[in-house]
Amino acid sequence: MLSYIIKRIGQAIPTLLIVITVSFFLMRLAPGGPFDGERQLPPEIEANLMAAYHMDEPLWQQYVRYLDGIAHGDFGPSFKYKDFSVTDLIWQGFPVSLTLGAWAMLVALIIGLPLGIIAAIKRNSAVDYLVMGIALGGIAVPSFVIAPILALVFGVILAWLPAGGWHDGALPNLVMPVAALALAQIAAIARLMRASMIEVLGSQYIRTARAKGLTPTEVILRHALRPALLPVLSYLGPAIAAIVTGSVVIEQIFGLPGIGRYFVQGALNRDYTLVMGVVVFYAILIIVMNLIVDLLYSVLDPQIRYD
């Protein structure tokens, strides 16, 4: 197990290096400098700016400097938010994005898993069709369509919930963003759970368990649930990536001060260091999450041996 963890971390490092290197050189390839504003800067000032941001150094030196910075948790200065470093901005936005993402994941699991199980047990019944119909809707209707409609209905017309804003993560402000973000994942998890539960319920040992005289609930909880959860668990990695990506758009729509909003602003303003910093930060996050999911997998599935 330990050697597996070490091996996986050893695999994660080259991946990260690739992300950092590709982002770095792409950004430096970009036409136009970060200081091309509306107004033409005098050459002396521009030279000073370049020197202040170490952009007058040879490319490899800048690259090494950037790598060294990241190793120390420093993503460099933001080119547009003058008084902030990228690290500051990321840490400012992260608690918001984390709260949003964690709630969305939790809600998706709490609602998605039971829905999938019920649909599997009542296979081909009205309940099943209803659940799968809703799930298909959740997959087909993107979050950036659902979110504005939710905001319009519950925020503006009915005025039950605030249509936007963060308010330090107050519950009413969280409800709609979390719902909009979770819906697609509820749908995906319910579909996966249903399919895998149906497969497990068809296996021999479930028949044995039934023949022993266990109640249907006991059969599900004691025998079918754990193996049926495995495909869902391996979906958690992609689900986390999807929630991280989705939160970009949700933060935009509801005006939440998370990382995603800085990222979009940075991308629109060509704030190179900020965009690069967020990409690298998310890559680290997603790689770490995937590692955790893989380790969890080994806990749930005794058939897997990591050596």
Using CB under 8 A, list all residues that contact another protein.
12, 14-15, 18-19, 22-23, 26-27, 29-31, 136-137, 139-142, 144-145, 148-149, 151-152, 156, 241, 244-245, 248-249, 252-253, 263-264, 267-268, 270, 272, 275-276, 278-279, 282-283, 286-287, 290
Q: Following DSSP, what letter does each residue of 194-233 receive, concatenated?
A: HHHHHHHHTSHHHHHHHHTT--HHHIIIIIIHHHHHHHHH
Nearer to another protein, 31 or 213 (CB): 31
Tell me the one-letter amino acid at 278.
Answer: V
Nearer to another protein, 214 or 289 (CB): 289
Smallest separation (angstroms) from another protein to the CB of 222: 28
Nearer to another protein, 154 or 214 (CB): 154
Smallest separation (angstroms) from another protein to the CB of 140: 4
Angle at alpha carbon of residue 253, lines to 249 and 258, rounded to 5°: 65
**Residue 158: burial class (beta carbons within 10 Å; 0-12, 13-18, 19+):** exposed
C-alpha 209/C-alpha 218 separation (Å) is 9
Smallest separation (angstroms) from another protein to the CB of 290: 6
Smallest separation (angstroms) from another protein to the CB of 215: 31
Give me 222's structure tokens.
């004691």
Nearer to another protein, 87 or 290 (CB): 290
- For helices 86-121 and 171-201, give the axis angle rounded to 10 degrees: 40
C-alpha 105/C-alpha 290 separation (Å) is 14
Nearer to another protein, 109 or 184 (CB): 184
C-alpha 151/C-alpha 148 separation (Å) is 5
Distance of CA 205 to the CA centre of its chain: 37
Of 295, 247, 296, 298, the residue nearest 95 (C-alpha): 247
Smallest separation (angstroms) from another protein to the CB of 213: 32
Nearer to another protein, 12 or 175 (CB): 12
Smallest separation (angstroms) from another protein to the CB of 133: 10
